[in-house]
Every structure is written in structure tokens, then in C-alpha cells.
Amino acid sequence: MKTTDAPTPEVEKKDAGKIFLEEVTTGGSPKGARTGSRLGQFVLIPFLAVLTGLIIGGIFIMLTDLNVYQAFSRGIGAGFSEAFRVVGASYSALFTGSIGDPVRWVTALQSGDALEIRRAFNPFLESLVASTPYIFGGLAVALGFRAGVFNIGVEGQIFVGAIFAAFAGYSIKGVPAVIHIPLALLAGALGGFLWGYIPGWLKAKTGGHEVINTIMMNFIAFRLSDWLLSGPMKAPNQFNPVSPPIEPSAVLPRFFGPPTRFHLGFFVALGVAYLVYWLLFKTTWGFNLRAVGANMFSAKYAGINVTLNIILAMSLSGALAGLAGANEVMGLNHNLAMAFSSGYGFDSIALALLGNNHPIGVVLAALLFGTLRNGATRMQIAAGVPIDIISILQAVILMFIAAPAIIRTIYRLRAPAGGDTGVTVRGWGGG
């Protein structure tokens, strides 16, 4: 989008932060703001990245399957047909494991058996369950990025959020669910808030880089939870290091009977996503955060309190991550266990980038990640494909998102006006 009177694209010095922000700052604009080409860039690239990721994942599946090698020893034709059979079987298992088997849906609905219907639709619901912590985590990272801070501490903030929510869940007794659920959720948010506040404060006041400090805070959070579970918060009559179960009034209600686990948390996550969107793009507070993230000097010039907003950004980011922890405790586990979050926080960084740090994009990316994660289990059981293939898939997708030039080259897409830009983050010493 060059102006008509400036046909000379200036070769300007760009630091990583600038490039990153260029890629990031659309969205939230009033109607008509996005032109077709920009929208195309933001939808097409992630879509093609996912597609290419699936293709490359398929190649890995072929390469890791012993049957394929044996088939190739019998002949080229047999080899290829076996290779494609294996990939087909794996991806169809991935699909039925994450979305469900359409044939089973129909027969279940025809039979009218409630349990069978629930079972038929469970893969899909389970994907939504798996997506929920990703939505919270992705929002946390995205909000940080928009405000110019790189929150790697989401994983730790999830743990602290879970600790706070679990404590509020089992220690408060005798209150109705309408009060207890919001209270426990807020407790989780508060835990994450505090865990984000500390590196935020360190960055704003001392210049300590938040990447290092949040990583350190992660370790503190992990060990803190280990210690609490083996001592102060350990359930009295339990051999395992788990907390007491939370009160039934703090449990996020499930919508359908067993075996489904689909619970209220998913809709809470969608509501929070809207809230983050509204905050970032519609309010003065969000403008402050985005301005500080985009250009600290202009923000200061515009009279915005930079220090306050850096602290606020890290704290709010932490609060969102804390909600992810609360969601897991209150929706699924109903107590706090060791190592209950397996890398949600780190995957969140990837999916925030995939979602272009926009709440809508984050929700979509979270659904994708949740679906892949859920389907992977089934793929392992049904097709014997190691679950790690999904990690490779996610990594490849992310790599293409971070380097859109590769995708453009593969699919012969034209670069957007204004040069090639990649999603990257404010690097070391970037303020």
C-alpha cells in the first residue's frame, strides 16, 4: 500500500521490532480498514503454512514407517502405494480422532442411544476441550506482543494461576457456584497477574530483559508447585502429590454426560478473547498498550506512561495465562497435580504468531492446535504413528509462519507492497 505520490519504496533501516510490528498491526480497525490484499496475506499465508506442514508431516510419516521400506524393497510401485496408504491411514486417524467419524455420527443419531451419540461426537468435543487452554495462552502471548513485551513465562503463569485457582477452589466452602466459579477464576487470573507483574516491573524499572526473567520465573513456578504439592497443599489422605479436590461449587459445569468432558471453560475463553479484542482495539487502555508496543518514543511523546504500560502489559498477559491454569484445574482435573500442563505455555507462543497476534486469529490457531493435539493420540493408537509427528507438524507450520518468504516462493505468491516482512520479535536489548 504505497501512496500514489511516493512510488519509491525507501530502503529504510528496520530493526526486528519494527518488522514484527508491521506484520502485526492490522485488525481492530473500523469498517473498511482492511484491503483485500492485506486480508489475503493474513489468511492465505497461515492456510498455506498449515497445508505445507501437513505435506511435510506426511513425508516424515513415510520415512518413519518400517512397512514403507519393506514395500520399497519389493518394488518402486509397491513402495509408493504403501507410502501413500500409510500417510492416508495416519491422517484419516488424525481426522477421526479429532473431529469424529461421520458414519458413526449418522448411525449413532439413528440409533437414538444417548451414550452412543455422546461417544460419536466426543472426539470433536474433546478437541474443543484441548483448545481451551490454548486460547487463553495464545491470548496471553498475543497481548504481550501487541504491547511490545515477549512473555515466555506463560507456562509458569499457568502453574501459578492453577495454584491460586485450586486453593480458592478447595479452601472456600459453602458458597454457591455462581459466586465460587468466578471467584476461583479470578484467583487464577490474579496468580498469573502477579507472576507477570514481577518481570514486568523488572523490565520497566531496571531494564531487565523480560525474556530472561520470564524463563527464570517459569522455573520458580514449577518448583513452587512441586513444593506446595509435596507439603502445604498436599491432600491429607493421598499418597500422590496432589492437592485436595476443589469443591463441587468451583467445578466448571460439563454440558453432556460421560465420557464427554466439554465444559463451560471453552465459552469463558471465547468471552475473554472478545474482551481482549475490545480492550486492545476499542479502548484508550488498549491504545496505550499498542502505542507503547509499536514505538516507545512516540508513546512517550503522546503523553502515555510507558513504564506503567509495560508493567500492565506483562501483568495482564500473566492474568490471561493464569486463567488457562484455572481452566485446567476447574474444568478437567478438579485438583492440582504435578506437571499438569504439558507445554501449553510454549505452544502458545507459536500459535499467537500463527494467529497474527489478533484475538480472532488466536482462537482459530488454538482450535487448530487443540485439534491436532487431540487427534494425535488417536493417530498413535490406530495408525502406530508416533505422537511426536504432531510436534514436527507444529514446528514446520510455525517455521513457515515465521518466514513467509518460503511460502511465497513455494506457491509463487507476490510479496506484499512495502517489502517482505516476517513475524519476528523484539530481540535482545530491543528496549
Partner 1 sequence: MEPILELRGITKRFPGVLANDHISLTLNPGEVHALLGENGAGKTTLMNILYGLYQPEEGEILVRGKKITVHSPNDAIAAGIGMVHQHFMLVPVFTVTENVMLGEETTRFGGFLDEEKAAARIHKISSQYGLEVDPNAYIKDLPVGVQQRVEIIKLLYRQADILIFDEPTAVLTPQEADKLFEIMKSLVSQGKSIIFITHKLREVLEFADRITVIRGGKVVGATTPEEATENVLATMMVGREVELIMEKEESKTGEVVLQVNDLVVADDRKQITVDGVTFEVRAGEVLGIAGVQGNGQTELVEALTGLRKTASGDILLQGTSIAHASPRSITELGCAHIPEDRQRDGLILSFPIYENLVLNTYYTPQNSKGPVIQWDQVVEKSRGLIKRFDIRTPGPFTHAGDLSGGNQQKVIVARELTRPIHLLIASQPTRGLDVGSIEYIHRQILDKRDSGVAVLLVSTELAEILTLSDRIGVMYRGKIVAVVDAKAATKEFLGLLMAGVPEEEAKKKVGPIEAQTTRERELY
> Applying CB under 8 A, does 36 fall inside the site for partner 1?
no
Binding status of residue 24 toward partner 1 by CB under 8 A: yes
Q: Is 55 in the site for partner 1 (CB under 8 A)?
A: no
Classify 339 as helix, strand or coil.
coil
Q: Which of 66, 236, 297, 429 binds partner 1 (CB under 8 A)?
A: 297
C-alpha grid cell for residue 394?
507444529
Can residue 274 be called a binding residue for partner 1 (CB under 8 A)? no
User: Are the C-beta atoms of residues 356 and 424 closer than 8 Å to each other?
Assistant: no
Closest CB 414 distance from partner 1, rounded Å: 9
Look at residue 106 and give its three-state secondary structure.
helix
The nearest distance, CB 313 to partner 1, in angstroms, is 16
Q: Give Dmax over CA atoms of the chain in angstroms.
A: 76
Question: Per rule CB under 8 A, is residue 207 in the interface with partner 1?
Answer: no
Q: Whole-angstrom Cα distance, residue 22 to residue 34?
A: 14
Contact status: 33 vs partner 1 (CB under 8 A) = yes
- When binding is defined by CB under 8 A, the residue of 92, 107, 171, 295 that contacts partner 1 is 295
Q: Do residues 13 and 267 make contact, with C-beta atoms less than 8 angstroms apart?
A: no
- Interface with partner 1 includes 10 (CB under 8 A)? yes
Q: Scan residues 350-389 and list those touching partner 1 (CB under 8 A).
A: none
Q: Is 239 in the site for partner 1 (CB under 8 A)?
A: no
For the record, the C-alpha cell of 278 comes out as 475490545
Q: Which residues of 12-47 are buried (b: 16+ CB within 10 A; e: fewer)?
A: eeeeebbbbbbbbbbbbeeeeeeeeeeeebbebbbe
The answer to whether 283 contacts partner 1 (rule: CB under 8 A) is: yes
302 belongs to the binding site for partner 1 (CB under 8 A): yes
Among positions 16, 18, 56, 183, the unique one binding partner 1 when judged by CB under 8 A: 18
**164 near 172, Cβ under 8 Å?**
no
Near partner 1 by CB under 8 A: residue from 32, 174, 231, 257: 32
Q: Does residue 417 touch partner 1 according to CB under 8 A?
A: yes
> Do 157 and 195 form a contact (C-beta atoms < 8 A)?
yes
Q: In the complex, what is the shortest distance from the CB of residue 220 to partner 1, in angstroms, rounded to a whole number?
A: 34
Cα angle for residues 12, 307, 151 (degrees, 5° grid): 75
Selection from 388, 385, 397, 392 nearest residue 94 by Cα: 385
Give the H or E element holding residue 383: helix 359-383
Among 73, 178, 284, 429, binds partner 1 (CB under 8 A): 284
* Least distance to partner 1, CB of residue 12, Å: 6
Query: Which residues neighbour 24 within 8 Å (Cβ) at sequence distance 6 or greater?
Result: 145, 146, 356, 357, 423
Among 16, 25, 80, 270, binds partner 1 (CB under 8 A): 25
Binder of partner 1 out of 36, 190, 291, 371 (CB under 8 A)? 291
- Residue from 85, 118, 119, 300 touching partner 1 (CB under 8 A): that is 300
Choice between 103 and 417, CB closer to partner 1: 417
Q: Does 70 bind partner 1 (CB under 8 A)?
A: no
Question: 299: which 3 cell numbers?
Answer: 508513546
User: Is there a contact between 233 and 165 (Cβ–Cβ < 8 Å)?
Assistant: no
Nearer residue to partner 1 within complex by CB, 35 or 81:
35
Q: Is 307 in the site for partner 1 (CB under 8 A)?
A: no
Rounded Cα distance between 419 and 431, Å, is 25
256 binds partner 1, rule: CB under 8 A: no
Where does this chain touch partner 1 (CB under 8 A) — which range of 94-102, 119-127, 201-209, 276-284?
276-284
Cis geometry, peptide bond prior to residue 259 (ω within 30 degrees of 0): yes
Query: From the CB of 430, what's the least distance to partner 1, in Å?
Result: 14
**What is the residue whose three cell numbers read 515466555?**
152
- Least spacing, CB of residue 17 vs partner 1, in Å: 10
List contacts with partner 1 (CB under 8 A).
1-13, 18, 21-22, 24-25, 29-35, 282-285, 287, 290-291, 294-295, 297-305, 417-418
